[in-house]
Amino acid sequence: MEHTQPENKQPSQEKSSPTPLKRKPYRILHALLDSLSVMGVMVALSVILTLATLSYDSTFVQRIEITGLLNLASFSLIIAIRWKYWKPDLKKLFTLPARSGSIILLLVMAAAGLTAVLSEIDNMLRPFLGDSLLYEILEKMFSRNLLAVFFAVGIIAPISEEFFFRGYLISRLEETVSPLTAIIAVSFLFGLFHLNPSQMVSGFFTGLILGYLFVATRSLVYPVLFHFFYNSIPVACLAAGVNIPGYTQSEAGMHQPVWFTLTGFIIMAAAVVILLQLLPSLPAAGSKHTEGPGPDEQADA
């Protein structure tokens, strides 16, 4: 009888082959470095553009619309470099969650109230923390074309900043820390990104709400809308000629009327309480949500 040679056992060879390398854990230090990279790119682009336009317009980079475009370019570059480590589901990120009508109305209320509260906190902190050179530049920018201001802070900033801070940083940090820790860490980085000392505080508290909206819905729609309302409401008040000391007018030692700040706090608190009832609660501390690539990803972050 003729004996045939046994076939090679492919499964055994597969078992002996090395397993694909996994990504290194993404930690808070990595998030800090990515945030500093955005700032570094923005500074570098500003310097290059300033030198290129110095001969005919020394204030070209100080235009609010140019600053907004530099903001967008900086975030886009870092996201593009880090894209292979994240690879999000863009359709899911920009899907409007259910019951959106009532939620959007509450977001408008919460944003309006929060601008009043944080504006007064900023007024109280400025005598102690002082104003940076950046703050003086921003004040000059905001005193110019309000349409350009709306374009930069109402359109570009909400989309680019939410995509990076909430979409990218929180999603990556959830690989190693709890959702709550990720929200707090990214809120700190978001405040740091504003560079002006007094605005760092308002940036942190705003970041907490934005982070919750993202983690609770896994969508960037509500964070982008809230960010849009928060940035655009003061601009709309300026455009409409609304005169509120300490809010639409900003001078050293100036404060808002007590009734205005108190009304803002009540509206904000009521809206936030209802939002917490309507939106899902944060995942448990032990659970981590990962938006990144699957286990077959061999890249090393």
Lowest mean pLDDT among 121-135, 213-227, 252-266: 121-135
Give 96-125 pLDDT, tens digit per residue.
887 788 999 999 999 999 999 999 988 888
User: What pLDDT was estimated at residue 14?
Assistant: 45
Q: What is the DSSP letter of 17?
A: S
Structure token digits, residue 52 = 């290129």
Give the DSSP letter of residue 289.
-
Confidence of residue 20 (pLDDT cuts 50, 70, 90): very low
Question: Which run of H or E residues covers position 48?
Answer: helix 28-53
Instruction: Give the pLDDT score at 142.
Output: 56
Helix (H) or strand (E) holding 251: none
Which tops the pLDDT comparison, 6 or 166?
166
Q: Judge whether 78 and 33 are in contact, CB under 8 Å.
A: no
Q: What is the Cα–Cα distance from 99 to 273, expressed in whole angstroms? A: 16
Instruction: Say what the pLDDT of residue 24 is.
Output: 74
pLDDT score at 287: 59
Listing DSSP states for 170-234 in one string gives: IHHHTTTS-HHHHHHHHHHHHHHHT-SHHHHHHHHHHHHHHHHHHHHHS-SHHHHHHHHHHHHHH
Inter-residue contact 118 to 191 (CB < 8 Å): no
Residues in the chain: 301
Compare 262 and 95 and report the one with higher pLDDT.
262
Q: At 136, is the pLDDT very low, low, confident or very high (cuts 50, 70, 90)? A: low
For all residues of the chain together, what is the average pLDDT? 82
Q: Taking the mean position of all CA atoms in its chain, how far away is CA 279? A: 20
Identity (one letter) of the amino acid at 153? Answer: V
Residue 12 clears pLDDT 50, i.e. is over it: no
Q: What is the pLDDT of residues 29-53, one digit of tens each?
A: 999 999 999 999 999 998 998 888 8
pLDDT digits (tens, 9 = 90+) for 207-243: 999 999 999 999 999 999 999 999 999 888 888 888 8
The band of 5, judged by pLDDT with boundaries at 50, 70 and 90, is low
Q: Range with the lowest mean pLDDT among 144-153, 216-225, 269-278? A: 144-153
Report the distance separating Cα 298 and Cα 139, nearest Å.
Answer: 47
Q: How far apart are CA 16 and CA 9, in angstroms?
A: 11
Sequence ranges of the domains in the chain: 23-278
225 burial class (0-12, 13-18, 19+ CB within 10 angstroms)? buried
Closest-CA residue to 166 (of 111, 208, 110, 214): 214
R_g over Cα of the chain? 23
Vertex 195, ends 190 and 200: CA angle to 5°? 55
Axis-axis angle for helices 197-217, 179-193 (nearest 10): 150
CA distances from 241 to 13, 229, 236, 252 (A): 75, 18, 9, 21
| Separation between Cα atoms, residue 194 and residue 201, nearest integer Å | 10
